Each structure stands twice: as C-alpha cells, then as structure tokens.
Amino acid sequence: MSASSAFSDEKGGSASEPEYGHDPASGGIFSSDYKRHDDLKEMLDSNKDSLKLEAMKRIVAMIARGKNASDLFPAVVKNVACKNIEVKKLVYVYLVRYAEEQQDLALLSISTFQRGLKDPNQLIRASALRVLSSIRVTIIVPIMMLAIKEAASDMSPYVRKTAAHAIPKLHSLDPEQKDQLIEVIEKLLADKTTLVAGSVVMAFEEVCPDRIDLIHKNYRKLCNLLIDVEEWGQVVIINMLTRYARTQFLNPNVNESLLEESSEKAFYASDDEEDEDKKAEVTTLEKRKPYVMDPDHRLLLRNTKPLLQSRNAAVVMAVAQLYFHLAPKAEVGIIAKALGMFEPYLKSFYIRSTDPTQIKILKLEVLTNLANEANISTILREFQTYIKSMDKDFVAASIQAIGRCATNIGEVRDTCLNGLVQLLSNRDELVVAESVVVIKKLLQMQPEQHSDIIKHMAKLIDNIQVPMARASILWLIGEYCEHVPKIAPDVLRKMAKSFTNEEDIVKLQIINLAAKLYLTNSKQTKLLTQYVLNLAKYDQNYDIRDRARFIRQLIVPTDKSGALNKYAKKLFLALKPAPVLESPFKDRDHFQLGSLSHLLNAKAAGYQELPDWPESAPDPSVRNVEVKDSIPDWSKCSSRKDRKEKKVEKPFYSDSEGESGPTESADSGNCGESSASGSDESGSGSESEESREETESEEEEEDEEEEKKKRKKLDKTKAKKQAEESAERCAIHTIHQIRTIAPSGSIKMYELLHRITGEGLAVEYCFSRQPFSPDPNMVAVQIQFTNNTNSETKNLHIEDPRLQSGMRIREFAEIGLQPTGESVTVVMGIDFCDSTQAANFQLCTHTRKFFVSIQPPVGELMTPTFLTENNFKKEQGKLMGMNEILEKLTLGEKCVNEHVIVERVTATANLSRVPCGSDKECRFAGKTVSSGCLVLVTVTTKEGGGAQLTVNCEKMVIGTMLVKDILQALSQ
C-alpha cells in the first residue's frame, strides 16, 4: 500500500481524490486547493515517516512546477529535525527556497540548522549550511561566518564546495566581513579537489577579484586541474585565468616576426600593409629583444586547448576568448580560422526559419563578410528570400546586409540598387522604409549616374507613409535637386500642402528642401519657400520654429541678415562625404570577447575591463610553491596521532543544542562519536599505506592503546551516569502527589478552554515556575478545571498529544469525578525543547473531546540560577560575540527605580537576581529547562530615562526572543 493510499484510509477519504501534484488550474477558479493544503499539513504532522516523505515529495513537486508553497513553511520547518534522512533532505530543499521569505520562522529553527552542521551525513551538513546562508538577516552573520569557516575545513569536498558558494552570500549581506572571507577563500584556493576549485574561484571573483596575489601559488594547480573540473567551474576559472595572464605575462604579439611561427603571414594582416610597414618593423625589431614565452603562459594555453572539444558551448567560448586575448596571432587560428577557410562551407551559414533572431543576424554578418565577386550572386539570391520573412528585425538586417555588399563590391552596386528599388513597391512599409534608407546611402556614392532612381523615388512620396522613409526621399531630392530640376519643385508643392499633417522629422526635411530649392531655383520656389517658412514659424515644435527662423535669416537677404547670407550656398549645398555602411558588430574589440558588453557593444553593469599587458615581465618566482604549502589544513592530519588531537578539539557549536538534550557531552557531538567513527574508518583505510614504514606503525600501536584506555574510562563514566539516572527515575515513579501552588499576582493565568466553548467546563493554566519533580527537564504547567455545568464532570484526562519533534509531555492523573461548581487543580509537565512551539492535545471528558494547545512565552522556558558577581562576569566573558545581543531602549514612565525594573524583568522571564555593586546595573541569570543553556541578562540604566539591555545566551534564538519580550516590558 502506498503512503498516499494509507493516508486516505486513515482519513476515511476516497482513494480517487486528486493529488496535489496535479495542475490546480484544472479545477477552475473554485478549486479546493486549500483543502489539499490541509491534507499536506496533516501528513507532515503525522508520526509516520512514509506520510511525511510523500507530503514533502508533493511540495517539492509544487515548487518545481512554479507553484507557491510558502504557506506550508510552518508545517515543513517542524520536520527539520526528522530522523528520516530522505525527509530531512527534502525539508532542506524546501527551506533553501523559502528561508529568505520566511526569515522569522527560519530563525526559530536556527539551532536545528546548527545541529545539522554536525550531522554525519555530508548532504545534511551541506544543506544546513545552504539554508543558513539563505537567511538574509544580519543578526546571524557571526553564526554564518563561523559555520563557513568550519565547513571550509570539512573532510567532505561537497561541504567545502557549499562553503565556497556561501561566501558571496555572506559578503553581499555584510561587506564588512570581507577580510575574514578572504582568509577562507585563500584556504579553499589551496584545495586540491576538483569539486571545490570552480566554486572557490567564483567566490574569489565575487569578493576580491583584485587580489591577484592569492592566485600566484595556486596558478599551476588550477591549470592542471582544469581539465577535470565540472563544466561551469571551467568557465569561471578560464575567465579568471585570462585576466590573471594579462597582468603576469608579456604580450606575445609584440615581436611576432621573431616567434617561431612568424614565417606565416599575420592573421589579419593584408599584403599591402605588410609591404608598407616591412622596413619600419625591421628597424624597430632590431632594437628589441627576442620574445620568449613564459612557461606558465604556455602551460595555460596547452591545458585549455583540449577544452575546445567540450560538449558545453560556454566552455568552448571561454577557451576561444582566452586564445583571442592571450595567444600569439599564429595560434589564434586554432579557435577562429580565417574567413576564407569558411568559403567552401558557405551554405552552412544559410538562415533557417527555426533560428532565433539573434542567430539569424549573426549568420547574416558571416555571409556578408564572406561575399566576394565569385559568390555574390548566390548570396544576393539568398538575401532575396530572407526579405519575405515574417521576422521584421531580420528583414531590416537583410536589407542592410545587401547595402553593405553593394558598398564592399563595386561590381554589384547597380544590381543591388535595382533590387532595392524593386522593393520600394513592396506592400510592407518596413521593407520600403529600410530600402529607402539604404538606397539613400548608396546613391550618395554616384548620384549623377542614378538620376532615374531619384525620379522613381520621388514618385513614391505619395504612397510611402513611414516618416523615416519620407524624410530620406526628401533629403535625396533636396541634395541632388540639380539632377531632377523639374521634379523637385513639384515635390515641394505637394509637401507644402501636407506640411501641417507631417511628422516632425519630415517637416525638418521639407524646410531643408525648400531652402535648397530657393538657393538653386528661386524663380519657381520663392513663394513656396516663404509659405513653408510661415507655416513652420507657428509650429508647435520649437525645433521646427527655430529651424525656420534660422533658415529665413540665412537665405532671404535683409538689412539685418549680416555676412552669413553670402555663404548660404556653401552651407546648404556643400559636398557631403559618402556614408560608409558598417557592420553593427564593428568596434567591439575593446570589450572582452564573449562578454555581455561585447554582445551589446556597451559597457554592462559589473563588467571588468581586461587588463593591459605589462611593459616588463613580472617576477615569475611568485608562482613557485613547495608541495607542502599547497596542502589544505583539512588534509594535514595524515597520522593517527594528528587526527586524534584534532578530534578532541572543542566542538564548533555548544553541545547543549544537541538533539539528546542536556545529557549530551562534548564527546557525543560531531567531534565525538561520529567523528571518531569517521576517523577510525579513514584510519583503517590508510593503515595499509602507513604500514609500509615500521616507525609509523609503532606510533600507531601506541596511539591505539592510549585511545582504548580513554574509551574505557569514558564508558565507565557513562555507565555510572546512566545508573544514577535510572535510580532517579525509579524514585520518581514512587511519587503520587504533585504539589500545586496558589497563583500569585505575578503569575499570569492563560485561558485554555472558555466555558462557552467547553459547554460549561472552563479551563485555565499558568506556568507555576516550580520544579517539576518527576522530570527536571520539563516545565511545570498548572491547570485549573472549573465545572460550571449543572451536572458532574467525569473522567477528565488527556488524549492524542500532537507534539513537535523532540517534545515530550507528562500527563496528569485522570480526574474521575468533578462535582458541579467546584474547581480542581492539577500539574502536568511539558518538555518544550527550548522552543516556543505549542504543545497540542485533546482534553477529554466522559462525553466530549476538546482540541487545545499550550504555547509558552520564552521566559517560562527558564529556571533561576544563582551566581555570584564574579561567576556572572566569568560566564558572561565566555558568551561574547555571536552569543551576545545589545539593544538600547527608553524606559517607560513607570520604570522609575531599580525595584520596578527587577519586578518587570523577573515577571517576563523566570530568572534570579545576581548581586551587583553598581546602582545603575541589574543582573539576572538562569538556565533553559530542557537543555540547561545559560541565560544572562543585564539592564544598565542611563541618565535621561535611557537604558541598555544585554542578553548573553548560548542559543541565539532564545536570546533574540527574550530581548524582544524584555524590551516590551521595560518600555511600557
């Protein structure tokens, strides 16, 4: 039976109900998604791991399909401490996705993530670090920093890789941690594992790309590991090494004729350029020393060359840009052959209808560059078919390509012009407009030979409506009006009629046409020109008004016109240089090949300029490194003795946060049993190698004997402790009566069940702040039952407790009979596991069941601890840094003296007062009930009603919530 069917049987539902993984859109706008959310929540609250796993699979499937599952965060995060490894993995996957959105809830489980960092499973350790780094709250920056440092020394390369990924996240959250992060990066750069290399270089590029000195000792190692690094890591490393090489090696193309490959012609050099510059080069080269390539430079080129066969296009592109920027010109042909070598494969660059627009334009660029007298007819026929495409951007690029071919190859200029003129009758305005613009540029080269084309274009002025095309035709007629003396005035007449309805760009060209005709054919166009200028004088666009006033003063002679009137013809009728039809891909060499800036031909945000070649070679000895220096810290423990010493170091986080409660010692943490087993395994694997040397084997035997003695001693201590706990439990079982107290004014009563909801049964509870004798790790909760009904209440008891992972409950003895109008008080114990998660259970009578929950304030999770002033300072000194929270506040109007402050703090939290010699300072101490974590509180009053609250706590979550409650109490 599957988990889903089992759950359906339990709920009494139908097995045919749709699963949540199905598309909710199929149910329409009235679909019952919320009910299925409730099912998932119940499955997550179940005690069966199979149901939890099924629920998590569905939730992760929702996320993969782009559905919003954020409302399930509280139900999922409760399972973060689940023992089932498969459930735990999926929970961490979910938390990574939503930790940043649900920061408050994620913070409540931060201690669980810290325990996850010590988990024996490397996937759990890595996932815990990933979740921790996804919580974007500055208050946990110290925790994240220590976690990253610890993970950077982890034995698992996967965890170290995750630590490298967490470094940029922490840097973006708190840039002030840069110096410490650089130390971690330096340590990880020395890692010899290929799994880590790409990730740490990515962190290097994000945090400190200018620290080239960190690369020196690792340069050769990165070059040699490159072939085995995963693909996206290869891209990052190659890009970084490209920048590094540009700062550390000389330009290999300075004296290219002295290279071994200099017998071949330079890659882009033409025959004419070689003949002209040959003498100058020989003179210059005689003064220079022969270039000898640095061995490390050659190492980089040699080790990246095989990656040209990579299946990943990004890797091939990265190698191509590296060779383009670093290799001698004679070797660049490895990655980019001369265009002539592509001529036999011309048809390979023909555009397909399935190609994206960007690829189509790139292929057009290649075809245009390959065009010559031999293949131009074939290429033009291909271009002719492209103009019929539905992709408008591609059509415009094709017409521009025809214009460039006509510019580059004079023999086909007339053919291209005639073809473009035929396009002027096309029904598509975009095709006509683009053709007019290209024709205009081509006609500027030989206008006297193409007066017929100008006449033909003048006739199209009535049909073409695209503003840019109309403006281009008017410019052509005005510029070459002497070649069409009969048509130009008539065009001006037509345009004068429609002047007020034209676009601004067309109006400006009408004014220019009028001015040129006035200067060349004043008799026919004088009145038309004045009419047009008068219309423009009152136009709404100030540019047109200014142009009209300027031209009137310039071409119409008056007493005030001045000397400029004499030069009007030279200004308007001057010869213009013919435009050059250039490729949009030109002038991109100043950007790094393959970068976004190179593609856009504009500097993009975050673009790093490629460094210039150094004038003199830097010291190559900086890359010399001894073998031992390149070994990371985590792998230095090669002998059993070293591993043993490292194993007994103080664990990374406090053991009081362990899953087993306060009975765990340092030996049961990550550096204890789990690390010991891992060390033993690694030791047994390395003994076969170390046994080759007699001296080392003797040392190992001595170490093993010492280790066995310590283990025996430790086992005796544990056995003694377990015996004492067993005796204590036996004594506890003999206790039948639990003392209750009368609630005082300082103890707050909470309503558990209202008398109306409880049908006459009213239930209240309070936290008595008394030790719960059967189990000191439980919080004592005093419950008062009041029977307001007209009949007796029987069999009051608790059923079906629903608790979070790790929580425990000690039920009170069943109340057999409660008479009418009487109250009964009982005490029960709850182990909240140092969290404010609610304990849910059913309160039952002989006739009814009521679902209730008890949720404790954070201050009730503590028990007073009596410390002297010296002990308080000593313990406070141990809980500095990441375990300390400082907050400034303004005391409320009623907090007039020390007595009120003490009263409010102790009412908020179950702490004891610590003696203090200062009148302006109040100190309090306590421990959490479940795990015994120390909590220290200091309130320092200042003049003017201000104060500073300091909380030192081994658990940051407890401390954070406690600070919030005390601040609220003292501010009222």
Alpha-carbon distances of 733 from 30, 564, 720, 773, 831, rounded to whole Å: 56, 116, 20, 10, 18
Task: Judge whether 925 and 938 are in contact, CB under 8 Å.
Answer: no
Task: Tell me the pLDDT band of 265, cut-offs 50, 70 and 90.
Answer: very low
443 CB-side CA count, 13 A: 27
The 10 Å Cβ neighbour count of residue 418 is: 11
pLDDT of residue 628: 47
pLDDT of residue 915: 86
In the 8-state DSSP scheme, what is residue 403?
H
Q: How much is the mean pLDDT over the chain? A: 77
Q: Are strands 815-818 and 761-771 parallel, antiparallel or unpaired?
A: unpaired
Calpha distance 163→152 (Å, rounded): 6
- Please enumerate in sequence order all residues whose Cβ is within 8 A of that of 206, keeping only pairs 6 or more positions apart, or say none: 167, 168, 171
Under DSSP, is residue 140 helix (H, G, I), strand (E, B) or coil?
A: helix
Q: pLDDT-based confidence at 347, cuts 50/70/90? A: confident
CA separation (Å) from 190 to 132, 216, 227, 630, 638?
25, 11, 17, 5, 17
Report the percentage of the chain scoring pLDDT > 90.
17
Residue-level pLDDT at 828? 92
Shortest CA distance to 935 belongs to which of 901, 908, 917, 970?
908
| β-pairing verdict for 862-864 and 761-771 | unpaired
24's tokens: 């909710």
CA distances (Å), origin 65, targets 17, 59, 657, 751: 20, 10, 36, 43
DSSP state of 672: I
Across residues 402-427, what is the average pLDDT?
Answer: 80
Report residue 750: phi and psi, to 5°.
-120, 145
Closest by Cα among 261, 268, 239, 265 to 326:
239
Pairing, β 839-844 against β 779-787: unpaired
DSSP state for residue 673 in the 8-state scheme: I
**Beta bridge partners of residue 825, listed in sequence order:** 784
CA 590, 593, 594: angle at the middle one, nearest 5? Answer: 135
DSSP 8-state class, residue 17:
S
Reported as type and span, the H/E element at residue 100 is: none
d(CA 928, CA 923): 17
If we measure between CA atoms, which residue out of 246, 239, 80, 175 comes closest to residue 659? 80
Q: What are phi and psi of 934, to 5 degrees?
A: -75, 135
Q: What is the pLDDT of residue 927?
A: 93
Q: What is the 3-state secondary structure (H, E, C) of 694-706?
A: HHHHHHHHHHHHH
**What integer is the mean pLDDT of 152-178?**
92
Half-sphere exposure of 186 (CA within 13 A, CB side): 13
Closest of 149, 116, 153 to residue 131, by C-alpha: 116
At 900, the pLDDT band (50, 70, 90 cuts) reads confident
* Top mean-pLDDT range of 265-279, 412-426, 645-659, 887-901: 887-901
In tens, the pLDDT along 657-679 reads: 333 333 333 333 343 333 333 33
Residue entry with tokens 């539905």: 390
In single-letter form, the type of residue at position 259 comes to: L
Please indicate whether residue 201 or residue 561 has the higher confidence score (pLDDT): 201
Low-confidence winner among 175-184, 189-198, 255-264, 548-557 (lowest mean pLDDT):
255-264
Q: What is the mean pLDDT of residues 452-479?
A: 81
Structure tokens at 259: 């290279």
- Contact assessment for residue 108 and residue 79, using Cβ atoms and an 8 Å cutoff: no
What does the pLDDT read at residue 55?
Answer: 86
Measure the CA–CA gap between 922 and 906, rounded to whole angstroms: 11
According to DSSP, the residues that pair with 197 across neighbouring strands are none
The enclosing H or E element of 723 equals helix 694-733
Mean pLDDT of 226-236: 91
| pLDDT value at residue 579 | 60
Helix (H, G, I), strand (E, B) or coil at 406: helix
Within 10 A of 20 (CB to CB), how many other CB atoms are there? 21
Residues 320 and 327: their CA atoms lie apart, in Å, by: 10
- For residue 816, what pLDDT band results from cuts at 50, 70 and 90? confident
Specify whether the CB–CB gap between 551 and 511 falls below 8 A.
yes
Q: What share of the chain is helix, strand, coil (3-state, %, to 5)?
A: 55, 10, 30
Residue ranges of domains in the chain, CATH in brackets: 38-248 (1.25.10.10), 750-857 (2.60.40.1150), 860-971 (3.30.310.10)
- Determine phi and psi for 805, rounding to 5 degrees: -60, 130
Least reliable range by pLDDT among 71-75, 269-273, 494-498, 929-933: 269-273
Min mean pLDDT across 90-94, 155-159, 329-333 is at 329-333
Closest CA to 327 of 593, 599, 588, 591: 593
Query: Quick one: which of 801, 767, 762 has its CA closest to 781?
Result: 767
Give 262 or 871, the one with higher predicted confidence.
871
Lowest mean pLDDT among 87-101, 374-388, 411-425, 702-716: 702-716
What are 132-163's pLDDT values in tens digits? 888 878 888 888 899 999 999 999 999 999 99
Residue written as tokens 């390959």? 370
Q: Could you tell me which of 922, 735, 755 has the C-alpha nearest to residue 812?
A: 735
Which of 848, 856, 793 minimizes the C-alpha distance to 828? 856
Using CA atoms of 409, 413, 417, 419 in order, give the dihedral in degrees to the nearest 10: -60
Which of 52-56, 362-366, 702-706 is predicted least confidently? 702-706
* DSSP code string of 928-965: ETTT--EEEEEEEE-TTSEEEEEEEESSHHHHHHHHHH
Q: Rounding to the nearest 10 degrees, give the CA dihedral for residues 608, 338, 234, 226.
A: -120
The pLDDT score that the predictor gives to residue 234 is 93
pLDDT band at 321 (very low <50, low <70, confident <90, very high): confident
In contact, 321 and 593? CB cutoff 8 Å:
yes
Higher pLDDT, 273 or 156: 156
Burial class (CB in 10 A: 0-12, 13-18, 19+), 620: middle
CB 224, CB 216: distance < 8 Å: no
pLDDT category of residue 713 using cuts at 50, 70 and 90: low
Pairwise pLDDT comparison (729 vs 841), residue with the higher score:
841
CB under 8 Å to 68, separation ≥6 — which residues?
A: none
Q: What is the predicted pLDDT for the residue at 659?
A: 37
List of E strands, 691-789: 750-753, 761-771, 779-787
Which of the 8 DSSP states describes residue 800?
E
pLDDT tens sequence across 770-784 = 888 888 889 999 999
The model's pLDDT over 564-591, given as tens digits with 9 standing for 90+, comes to 777 787 778 777 766 665 666 565 666 7
At 572, list the tokens.
Answer: 């308007």
Give the 3-state DSSP-derived string for 339-383, with helices as H, strands as E and coil as C: HHHHHHHHHHHCCCCCCCHHHHHHHHHHHHHHCCCCCHHHHHHHH
Tokens at residue 455, please? 């006449």
The token pair at 839 is 């304990």
Give the residue-averaged pLDDT of 474-499: 87
